[in-house]
Structure 1
Amino acid sequence: MHSNRDIIARLRDNIPSFKCVEGCHDCCGPVTTSSEEMSRLPVKTEAEHEAALNEFNCVHLGPDGCTVYDERPLICRLFGTTPRMACPNDRRPEQMVDPKIEEEVHHFIATTRQVLV
């Protein structure tokens, strides 16, 4: 049996990345993530969470983009790598995510406790 940490690491390794449009944050709205992923992110105050939600942004969105890019949740990594979650700026990796990996990400999200980022 694999731990959630192992599952997350394997899924991250199998989600391709691509270069975003500089300054874009179209995928940086409020999202949910697993408790395991959340534990790797900096703790934000209730006021910071409320301010981000009022703008329909992620609390980790800074003036220059994602402030936790290397630790961003699976759902954020999946954005733009699959036709179902296409980038509105037509950016994409050379090779889109394998549909089996996409399905595993959605299964992981559906079967783990999720918290609002």
Structure 2
Amino acid sequence: MTATDTLTDGKLVNLPPEAGDVNAPRFEPDETWLRGASPVQQKTAMWRWFATRYEDPDTAVPHDDDGGYVFTDGGPFLADEVLHERFDGCVAPAVVQELVESVQQQVGNEWALRRLDKSGG
């Protein structure tokens, strides 16, 4: 998983309890909190949401004979589309775009679906 501090202006940001259950297998931020959070907190929460659903395809999916990805769960999922679709309604699109650009610099725009194991985690 991409380090949070590389996506939030070089700061490691801990989300407060009112942000949502950060220990849930699939983090879902509280939208009321998200709307009023600072841009760094917003990016941290959006990253947490994204990272609990998607992962770097380089280590998550098989490769074909030419080294290309073989997406088996409907991917690739495009970070720019996924993040803007989910968060433009409650976070300024410019802040969402900052996160998109950071994610793309770290891994790229194509992501694989993160599977939960049978225990739910």
For the criterion TM > 0.5, the same-fold answer is no
TM-score (norm 2): 0.31
TM-score (norm 1): 0.32
Higher relative contact order (CA 8 A, sep 6+): 1
